[in-house]
Structure 1
């Protein structure tokens, strides 16, 4: 081959035949990704717009201060809000300590094989449909004893444990290894190192996982239908040994009604639930952002 026909591989002005094709492919993939993101935003906007348009007119002070309607009177969701708050709070008390301890074992104590086994177990448990958890609690506890808020909290706690445990485990593994090694080198026991060094460093991520899990289970309907849906008392109730009204079950009940007023109330209650989920997610992002800035020294 002559010198004139030799292509200098270091000549930046030389363009390969496939460069134009790669650029076109890159632009095409970028456009498809952008359109996919816009489509996801459109779906969210469509859902929010529909719920807002159909439920905003039913929102007033009485809607938040009155309980379920009786004898044709206009009712509200005060009892459902209180019942949901009690059940979700109890579920959080049950699930969070167990989930954090599971995550600590996986990240700090378990060997590679045991850690992999427990990760797979949590992933499988995280994928179990909520209705199956409700049926499980119903067959195990509700049958023969009756429904109660405690059983509803147990069902939600089962759903929360894998979510919080996996989030916490991932955060714990992001804590720099040299922090543990420095503490252990000073003769500090491992449990004290985890309690005083690892957990405070990862607290932002742990709280984020807890908040997201709370927002997730707050909208679950199927487990509560089996465990805390047959409410005998009217008005705001606090007896956790009895079934308490909840917001997801109230939405389901109102949506099945033939009354236009009940259906409007269902849309309004759904709007309240969406607003709660939105606030919890913003809170989680805020906590995570502040913790990240504190770790970076900003």
Structure 2
């Protein structure tokens, strides 16, 4: 019995399938390196590098080397700050963290420089025009007065009225044409759309005086139009049209194609899809395109002077008579020798900055408004 059992066991082992070999271990995958955000120690190192480089560069720049000048001092300080910051960070964190910290520092420095430059321009404009801005008559009177050295007389009312009327006329012409042209290029397509896109891109580099000369020759000399705010509005519309068209085209291309496909799948026509889906989706971007166009046109001087002339009195009718805007008002007062007229020029420049900001805020509010609330 023992021999028979041994033979059965051997037969069972021979018929049994071989044991599976152990699976080879999977190769280890390199996990992405995660860089921790800057902590308190990193900020202390950054501040210490700035302070230490400031003292070192001040001693070398003003006490040891025969150098002078604020710009050179700032550039040398920044270079020394980066060098010291790199050495300290490399010693503490390593090369990978160093690259991240250095890139972040350079980007933040560039943002600070741009913001400081913008703030300096705005602050200096308001500061130079503070004497004119402090007089109420500067907002309620025109320049028809006797004494140009008396800031209690005269103002920019005529230029503000002219600017608002010209910009409204130019927006009424350029905005619908620009958006329609952008819809044609992005939604219709075809050979003609490529030609239109080429012409629009070429017109974005159109000099402002060329737009004024076009309206002067085609409208005033050939068609017999009168030099007026309406003619100036047309000249500004020629300048704003390619800017609004190109910016609107970029915005419309960012609308997801799935929205168009869903609308067409539900049975809507192409023009209904554009009107009810594409344009409402791109409305905030279209408002930005409008602001870009307005910012280009509101500060132009030569087209307004060529097509609307210059006046020192209020003319509320943009279709008859000479009319002026804020840029010609600023130019004509800034080139005069009296300090009071220069103060009026800077005061008008401050008003122009405030006007652009107001238009931007209003357009963003209108663009974000929807039925039942705000987006």
Stretch moving more, 36-45 or 22-31: 22-31
SS in 2 for 1:175: coil
Per-residue deviation, 1:140 = 3.0
Stretch moving more, 148-157 or 120-129: 120-129
CA contact (8 A) 1:208 1:288 kept: no
**Counterparts of residues 225-240 of structure 1 (less than 5 Å):** 225-231=305-311, 234-240=313-319
- The counterpart of 2:239, out of the listed 132, 156, 159, is 159
Q: Alpha carbons of 1:77 and 1:38: their partners in 2 closer, same or farther (altered >3 Å)? A: same
- CA deviations on 1:78-112 (whole Å, 9 max, x unpaired) are 1111111111111111111111110110111013x
CA contact (8 A) 2:144 2:313 kept: no
**Counterparts of residues 12-161 of structure 1 (less than 5 Å):** 20-59=94-133, 60-72=135-147, 74-111=153-190, 114-143=192-221, 145=224, 147-161=227-241
SS in 2 for 1:72: coil
Stretch moving more, 187-196 or 276-285: 276-285
Q: Alpha carbons of 1:25 and 1:63: their partners in 2 closer, same or farther (altered >3 Å)? A: same
Per-residue deviation, 1:54 = 0.9
Determine the C-alpha separation between the residues in 2 that align with 1:228 and 1:163: 23
- CA deviations on 1:39-94 (whole Å, 9 max, x unpaired) are 11111111112111110121132111101133326211111111111111111111
Determine the C-alpha separation between the residues in 2 that align with 1:203 and 1:94: 18
Partner of 2:262: 182
Superposition RMSD in Å: 2.8
Determine the C-alpha separation between the residues in 1 that align with 2:272 and 2:350: 45
CA contact (8 A) 2:165 2:318 kept: no
Partner of 1:5: none
Stretch moving more, 190-199 or 82-91: 190-199
CA contact (8 A) 1:229 1:249 kept: no
**Counterparts of residues 169-208 of structure 1 (less than 5 Å):** 169-208=249-288
CA contact (8 A) 2:287 2:364 kept: no
Per-residue deviation, 1:132 = 2.4
SS in 2 for 1:257: coil
- The counterpart of 1:242, out of the listed 292, 299, 321, is 321
Q: Alpha carbons of 1:122 and 1:239: their partners in 2 closer, same or farther (altered >3 Å)? A: closer
Does 1 or 2 have the higher relative contact order (CA < 8 Å, sep 6+)? 1
Q: Number of residue pairs matched? A: 280
Determine the C-alpha separation between the residues in 2 that align with 1:101 and 1:239: 26
Q: Which runs of 5+ in 2 are unaligned?
A: 1-26, 34-92
Q: Which runs of 5+ in 1 are unaligned?
A: 1-7
Q: Alpha carbons of 1:183 and 1:61: their partners in 2 closer, same or farther (altered >3 Å)? A: same
SS in 2 for 1:220: coil
Q: Alpha carbons of 1:11 and 1:219: their partners in 2 closer, same or farther (altered >3 Å)? A: closer
SS in 1 for 2:282: helix
**Counterparts of residues 274-285 of structure 1 (less than 5 Å):** 274-285=353-364
Partner of 2:345: 266
| Higher gyration radius (CA) | 2
Determine the C-alpha separation between the residues in 1 that align with 2:364 and 2:94: 41
